Amino acid sequence: MRYQHQWLQGKTIDFPVGQVVCVGRNYAAHARELNNPIPDEPVLFMKPPSAIQPLEAPLAIAEQFVPVHYETELAVLITKPLFQASEQAVKDALGGMTLALDLTRREEQSRLKQKGLPWERAKAFAGSAAIGRFVAVPDDWCEVAFSLSINGEMRQQGNSATMLMPVIALIQHISQTFWLNPGDIVLTGTPEGVGVLENGDLLSLSLEGQHLAQTQVEVQSGEAFIQGKSA
């Protein structure tokens, strides 16, 4: 299914679908669970627009990519151009928030890291950014809570209060290097509790105590995956 930015109520958000800027290791507990050092500055990587799929049923994963890990993240929609932005400019440019799944081929990522190679094959593959429908941004980004349950079991609980770099400062930091344009999405990092997705898993995501999305994993053949993307 093709992706378009939407509000939770179903109305289309009239911005182009842009790049996804992702942040690694922005929660200390997640860095520790993967035996990674806590970084001195945010770890940044990108997913292209072609990596995006809507966070609704089915959550499509091409069979050649499995096993795939889930990473639940607070995501923000950029609605004004940003480059070397001030704190106020960032605040004015955040037009919506949602949850996203940064899908990761962990085994492939480990192989690439060992060889000193880029992560794109593990992080930017087709369908690797599942983006939910947006809700209004909060007045204060200090304590935005979110969670993921799989098959009725709580797997991840996050809160922006425990980020190593808070949301506004993080996007300021990103804008020192990258142009951010209306329609771009920033994923702000995942808390601890990541793991493997299995075919048929039922995922339920909540943001600020509000049910945001429910989806079911569907591992698809190459042909079915291609047909779904073009629908």
Three-state SS string over 47-103 comes to: ECHHHEEECCCCEEEEHHHCCCEECEEEEEEECCCECCCCHHHHHHHEEEEEEEEEC
The pLDDT value given to residue 169: 97
Cβ count near 9 (within 10 Å): 8
Domains annotated on the chain, with CATH: 20-76+87-138+158-230 (3.90.850.10)
For residue 137, give both structure tokens: 């941004």
The pLDDT value given to residue 231: 62
Q: pLDDT tens track of the chain, all 231 residues?
A: 789 999 999 999 999 999 999 999 999 878 788 877 888 899 999 999 999 999 998 999 999 999 999 999 999 999 999 999 999 999 999 999 999 999 999 999 999 999 999 999 999 999 999 999 999 999 999 999 999 999 999 999 999 999 999 999 999 999 999 999 999 999 999 999 999 999 999 999 999 999 999 999 999 997 888 877 666
Separation of alpha carbons 21 and 24, rounded Å = 10
The pLDDT value given to residue 227: 79
